[in-house]
Amino acid sequence: MQQSTRSRGLLPLSAALCVMILMLLCSQEAVEGAKRGLGLCANMIIPSLFPFFVLSFLLNDLGLPAFLGRLFEPVMKSLFGVSGAGASAFIIGISGGYPLGASCIADLVRRGDITAEDGSRLLTFCNNSGPAFIIGAAGVGIFHSSTAGLGLYAVHILSAFITGLFLSGRRCTASHSPQVWFAGTSLSQSLPDAIKRAALQMLTVCGFVVFFSVLTGLLDALGVFSAIYGRVAAYTGYELRLTRSFLTGILELGCGIGAMEGAALTPLNLAVCAFLIGFGGISVAMQTASVLSGTKIKVSRHLAGRLMNGCISAFIVYTIASILL
């Protein structure tokens, strides 16, 4: 037993040491990766997420879960098996972006508005990418088409809804929605606190983005990525840029989508983009685990939900694009 524990502890320690050694040997690539990550944070992540982080905390404090809990109680229970207060997590999740939905769910659990079991179920479909990223970065930034971005966003929401129906379950727990319409604090109390919490959350998110940008740069410098996506491209016949984007996006969503810059508006390219947006990447999974710390919410539900969302999104987008393009 002790030997097994030592082995489990040795693996992450060895991995961390390897990364540190790589950073020392490939310091220039590490610096360039950090610059790309910081640029991504400054130009895309912070402008699109920070205002929503503030509003999410603010709306929760001002009583939005209580209002929506009373309003959507029958719908949320019958469709997803959760209390009505979870509607706020779904709305904020599809309007803000990763990991805002998870942050909202964690806040609801800590406040006692929903149970940890309800939080685990909501996590399967409420932590999603936001319209600013999908329409702005993917649609306009990659495919130079706001229409494509709107289509990707619509499919992303639909896939989240379908994922919730499949994975959340309809057996409602003993959690209950508040019996008052509004149960919040004053704006003068809530706004400063919301800004402080949003700033701390934003630092965590940006930290993950920068770290995974550095990691991606190191893997590129070692030739690991180029060897893998080169072989995949040769075996499948797909464009090299597409396989690189897919592998990079599995690690970090923003870098993966960015690697698609200049890609043609084809069904396959759109489907890969839809999958990456739906899956979110390992970086998003770790960000989510960070914001859920101490809530007893099952992170495994999130991974299952993201994988299903990605697959459903890719299938729907590829089918529709094959007909329209």
8 A C-beta contact, residue 124 and residue 305: yes
- DSSP H helices, 63-186, are 64-80, 86-95, 100-111, 116-126, 131, 143, 146-167
8 A C-beta contact, residue 129 and residue 156: yes
- How confident is the model at residue 7, as a pLDDT? 56
- State the Cα–Cα distance between residues 9 and 5, nearest whole angstrom: 6
Handedness of CA 143, 136, 35, 285 (dihedral sign): negative
- How confident is the model at residue 185, as a pLDDT? 64
Give the residue from 197, 258, 206, 190 showing the smallest Cα distance to 48. Answer: 206
Find where tokens 């929503």 sit: 52
- State the Cα–Cα distance between residues 106 and 283, nearest whole angstrom: 18
How is residue 284 written in tokens?
């998003």
Which residue type occupies 129?
S
How many other CB atoms are there within 10 angstroms of residue 82's CB atom? 31
Domain residue spans of the chain? 27-172+179-324
Q: Mean pLDDT in runs of 10 for the chain (325 residues)?
A: 57 80 84 88 80 80 73 80 80 82 88 86 90 84 90 96 82 49 64 87 85 86 82 85 89 85 90 96 90 86 92 97 92
Measured at the alpha carbon of residue 152, what is the angle toward residues 149 and 154, in degrees to the nearest 5?
110
How is residue 174 written in tokens?
């003993």
C-alpha distance from residue 122 to each of 84, 161, 169, 269 (Å)? 11, 11, 10, 30
- How confident is the model at residue 226, as a pLDDT? 81
- How confident is the model at residue 317, as a pLDDT? 97
What is the CB-side half-sphere exposure of residue 95 using CA atoms within 13 A? 13
- How confident is the model at residue 180, as a pLDDT? 44
- How confident is the model at residue 191, as a pLDDT? 87
8 A C-beta contact, residue 272 and residue 229: no
- DSSP H helices, the chain, are 2-25, 27-40, 46-62, 64-80, 86-95, 100-111, 116-126, 131, 143, 146-167, 187-222, 224-236, 240-251, 253-258, 267-279, 281-291, 299-324
8 A C-beta contact, residue 113 and residue 168: no
C-alpha distance from residue 37 to each of 185, 201, 263 (Å)? 37, 17, 21
